[in-house]
Amino acid sequence: MKSQVLKAIERFSLLDNRNITVALSGGADSMALLGVLLELKEEYDLEIAAAHFNHRIRGAEADRDEAFVKEYCEKKGVELFLGSGDVPSYAKEQGLSLELAARELRYEFLKSVSKGNVATAHTASDNAETVIFNLTRGSGAEGLCGIPPKRDIFIRPLILATREQIEEYCKENDIPFVNDSTNFCDDYTRNKIRHNVIPVLKQINPSFEGAVLKTSSILKEDSSYLNSLADEFLEQNLKEDKLRLEDFKELSVSVAKRVIRKFIEKEDISPENIHIEEAYNIALFGGKINLPKDYHLISKKGYLFFEKEAFMKRKSVKITESENTFFENCQKVNNLFLNNAVDCDKIIGNWEIRTRLSGDSIRLKGRGCTKPLNKLFSELGVPANLRDEIPVIADEKGIVWVMGVGVAERCAVTKNSKRVYIIEV
């Protein structure tokens, strides 16, 4: 394994900064990383420290890991920085998955304690899993480039070493480590890939991780050139946090979508493919989309810009469930009331409260046709500056309800409805 680390250091110039903080979880990978860097300390004149972040997700097991790394670093004379965070609460507040929330808090902590570079224990095996994971999600070339050996202050000295090589290194050098119990179950997608997919692919090619690294390297070369064109466009067209779109249509699709991604990432948002696709469309044709962290991305008057969600914080949309006892005589029920009542059993899949998106439409009861919200708002005389502030409810099939407009025909309450949602604003 040490030879793989030396090869990575030379190939990717990983030790330009001699002050290294190791992200130390206590697992085999990070313990091996600390071990090999301590071996190289004198040769490369390194200042080595370690940092451990307790996500407070795994209870006593997480506390055990923290105690383990603390004892080991004291024994080796390595300065250790300890941090923790309430990941579940942060995930809920920011509208993020638990995994992404944990990553954001962990990386924020690592940046705060580092005096130079931060070494993370990502391996060739991790890279292969990442590429397969991104492939299953329909990722583009960026996702198939895998884990970068170096990005900003973060370096990955183990990126050419496999998990088997690392475990052998720990065994040969008597390096202890702890196991995360969540790594052994298939409840997580990455574990399914690790336990079920990778072994089959290694039967086809025992050097599968190396083959993926080679493919990722080729894609990175191509991607680097396309990114340079995107950077050039951003430099020329970014004006006071707004992206000028005058020449955007002249870009190739591959460069244009990179421009979009880079522009969104400037707000510290990690966009998914669907966000990039939607943002690309509104950049060409105008409109507005929702992004994580309560942001809107708006394309208007030749510019693309962000707006922080404010309306839904001002307006409270209250939904209560009730038995359908009021619908005994449908001729006498107030129409305004029915416009704010939804048949519970007609909701399809998950649903959400949001503002309109490009392409939203609704078929209102008794209208006999489906109309885009934009056209419907125009017919109803809704001022243009308010149309993007009107709350709507949508399920996995489309729009269910629009404030001040009514309910979709497919979800309307009838005398046969059992349970209803009553919506109040």
Per-residue pLDDT tens over the stretch 398-410: 899 998 888 999 9
Per-residue pLDDT tens over the stretch 260-286: 999 999 887 888 888 899 999 999 999
Helix (H, G, I), strand (E, B) or coil at 346: helix
| pLDDT at position 42 over 60 | yes
84 half-sphere exposure, CB direction, 13 A CA radius:
10
Q: What is the pLDDT of residue 332?
A: 43
Per-residue pLDDT tens over the stretch 143-162: 899 999 999 999 999 999 99
Name the band, by pLDDT with cuts 50, 70 and 90, for residue 184: low
Spatial separation of the C-alpha atoms in residues 20 and 8, rounded to whole Å: 15
Per-residue pLDDT tens over the stretch 63-75: 899 999 999 999 9
Side-by-side strand order, sheet with 303-308: 238-239, 242-244, 303-308, 295-300, 287-291
Hey, what's the torsion of the CAs at 215, 220, 225, 227, to 10 degrees?
A: 140
Per-residue pLDDT tens over the stretch 223-237: 999 999 999 999 999
- What contacts 73, CB < 8 A, 6 or more positions away? 24, 50, 79, 80
pTM for the predicted model, two decimal places: 0.63
Per-residue pLDDT tens over the stretch 7-36: 999 999 999 899 999 999 999 999 999 999
Q: What is the pLDDT of residue 177?
A: 93
Q: What is the DSSP string of 105-140?
A: HHHHHHHHH-SSEEE----HHHHHHHHHHHHHTT--
| pLDDT at position 185 over 90 | no
b/e burial code for range 374-383 (CB count within 10 A of at least 16 → b): bebbeeeebe
312: exposed, middle or buried (C-beta count within 10 Å: 0-12, 13-18, 19+)? Answer: middle
Q: What is the pLDDT of residue 312?
A: 45
Tell me how far CA of residue 239 lies from CA of 135, 263, 279, 298, 304, in angstroms.
Answer: 35, 12, 18, 15, 10
Q: What is the pLDDT of residue 211?
A: 95
| pLDDT at position 215 over 70 | yes
**Which amino acid makes up residue 413?**
V
Q: Which residue has the higher pLDDT, 325 or 88?
A: 88
| pLDDT at position 359 over 80 | no
Q: What is the pLDDT of residue 322?
A: 60
Q: Which range has the worst mean pLDDT, 193-207, 239-253, 264-278, 364-378?
A: 364-378
- What contacts 148, CB < 8 A, 6 or more positions away? 156, 220
Name the H helices within 238-298.
Answer: 253-265, 273-285
Q: What is the pLDDT of residue 330?
A: 44
Spatial separation of the C-alpha atoms in residues 407 and 403, rounded to whole Å: 9
Q: Between the ranges 175-189, 302-316, 394-408, where is the mean pLDDT highest?
A: 394-408
Name the band, by pLDDT with cuts 50, 70 and 90, for residue 187: low
Q: Which range has the worst mean pLDDT, 100-109, 344-353, 380-389?
A: 380-389
Are 51 and 6 within 8 A, CB to CB?
no
Count of H-run helices and E-run strands, the chain: 17, 20
